[in-house]
Amino acid sequence: MIHQRKRRARPMSRRIMALIAVLVAAHEVAAQPAAAQPVPAAPAASGAAASTRPLVEVLTGTARAEYEAALILFQDADYANALIKFERTYELSGEEPRVLWDIALCQWHLKRYSRVLATIEKLLRQRGPDLSLQERQDAEALIQATKPYVSRLELLVSEKDAAVLVDGRPEGKTPLDKRVLLDVGQREIRVSKPGFKEVTLTRTIAGGGETALVVVLEKEVHRGRLLVTAGQDDLIAIDGRVVGRGAWEGSLPSGGHTLRVTSPGMLAHQAEIMLKDDQLRRVDLRLTPLPGGDLERWLWAGGGAALLAGAVVAGALVFRSEPPTPGSVEPRTVRVAGHGRGFSMRFGDSR
């Protein structure tokens, strides 16, 4: 769900338009060949105090070369590459604060309004005490002119330590401990955490006010489904556990599983089954009869009863009764005779 408190974006004031014009003019002057350049005081909007040497004179070596290349790109309206050169200049110059004005101007032309705010605020932090009153007023005016084109993101995520990216740019982990601004237009917010399904939201931002988002991360479920169809009386076992007879369908963790199907008088079937996430795998099989399967099935089906019956029949054939010999055995004793010596069986209570 998304809630937005919208504010109508007001057109830029003449003061801000003039401010940007001054910055552009400063670039045009700085981009002239060094021999043809006067030694002017940098305009107030460029962040240079009257007593400070122009930035193009302060920079040396590679930093100056990068800066001059950035000015040429800016004049050609190649703001994306000019921004790269200005940022490189800022790094090589030991973070010269005045370069931040140039960076902010490129960001403005590229409609990266949230970055403009961040850059100007960074300038105020780094050089605030050294700025003149006019410079601080210009910085504040630029901030106020940019605000209608951004919205503050209020993000509530169900899980801690989830990574948040806005248009592919990392903004930190939840809960966010810094302000996140969204530029006007279509923005992509991505929230991810190991073990959870990634959530990607695309929203059209009107600018001004706040944009509230609630994201509920769901745990990743690495499971698939297995459907086994066998003979009517076949026992089905998964990973050593009997799960059904004849047919079975169920959910299993992704990965390898041992399927075993058995039936009396039939050759057992055993195989390794691999399941992928969200996969439904079907296994349809028929067991093969054992050699001499009819006798084997008869023994399996009869079970213990068949064995017992066989023992009784065998006893009747092997042991045949003979007339008892009077007085030759003790009371409660029966003598059983056979082809050999036979044996005696005692029954009843013993004392």
| pLDDT over 70, % of the chain | 68
Q: Give the number of other Cβ atoms within 10 Å of residue 233's Cβ.
A: 11
What is the predicted pLDDT for the residue at 297? 52
What is the predicted pLDDT for the residue at 134? 86
Q: Residue 209: which pLDDT band, with cuts at 50, 70 and 90? A: confident
Q: Give the number of other Cβ atoms within 10 Å of residue 210's Cβ.
A: 14
DSSP-derived letter for residue 320 is -
Own/partner long-range contacts of 188-194 (Cβ < 8 Å, ≥24 apart): 189/153, 189/155, 189/164, 189/165, 189/213, 190/164, 190/165, 190/166, 191/155, 191/157, 191/162, 191/163, 191/164, 191/165, 191/215, 191/217, 192/162, 192/163, 192/165, 193/159, 193/161, 193/162, 193/163, 193/217
**Taking 50 as the threshold, does the pLDDT of residue 312 lie above it?**
no
pTM over 0.75: no
Residue 339 to residue 316: CA distance in whole angstroms:
13
Write down all domains in the chain, each with its CATH number in brackets: 2-148 (1.25.40), 150-215 (2.60.40.1120), 223-284 (2.60.40.1120), 298-346 (no CATH)
Q: What is the mean pLDDT of residues 34-45?
A: 33
DSSP-derived letter for residue 155 is E
Joined together, the tokens standing for residue 176 give 């966010």
Joined together, the tokens standing for residue 59 give 């920079």
- H-state helical runs in the chain: 14-30, 55-58, 61-75, 79-92, 99-109, 113-127, 133-146, 293-318
pLDDT single digits (tens) 278-306: 899 999 999 999 986 555 554 545 544 44
Pair 192, 178: CB distance under 8 Å:
no
**Taking 60 as the threshold, does the pLDDT of residue 22 lie above it?**
no
Pair 43, 65: CB distance under 8 Å:
no
Work out whether strand 280-284 and strand 223-229 pair parallel, antiparallel, or are unpaired.
parallel
Pair 190, 199: CB distance under 8 Å:
yes
Residue 142 to residue 85: CA distance in whole angstroms:
22
pLDDT single digits (tens) 221-272: 889 999 999 999 899 999 999 999 999 999 999 999 999 999 999 999 999 9
